[in-house]
Structure 1
Amino acid sequence: GNHKHHRAPGSIGQRSFPGRVFRGMRMAGHLGHEQVTILNLEVVQSDAERNLLLVKGAVPGPNGGVVIVRNAVKGGK
């Protein structure tokens, strides 16, 4: 299988000529932990007793993660 090698670069250059790795060569690095903003999701229903907010559409992040809900700045109907 491909265990622990999903980010392995494979070949990163040629041979003795040019003898270096070209700028912009894609290599392994940090993935994730980025803030993502999704615009204009519709709040369908809210349940204050159970502390729930029903949103129409996909909400990024892990289950149980923190979500900040704000009024729409652009777009919307």
Structure 2
Amino acid sequence: AAFPSHVKFNLPDDKPCRYLMLNGCECEPFLTCDHRVMLEYAGELLDGLAILQSFVEAEEIYIAIENNKPDA
């Protein structure tokens, strides 16, 4: 999806961000790009999530993965 990041992270002052969700689920059955990124760049991914959590002041982080990719 091409939803602009600057819109996602432009939160109203009176609306706190409680949850930050990383969607690691592929949109098509045979795609593996999200899975490979989670496997090959796990440290960078977690560093980026920590930066985003600090920026939006999220209370909790969730990472969604598919049942058939438990190694992600």
Bin for the TM-score computed over the shorter chain: under 0.3
Higher relative contact order (CA 8 A, sep 6+): 2
Give the TM-score, by structure 1 length. Answer: 0.23
Could you say which structure has the larger radius of gyration?
A: 1
Give the TM-score, by structure 2 length. Answer: 0.24
Instruction: Give the structure with the higher percent helix.
Output: 2
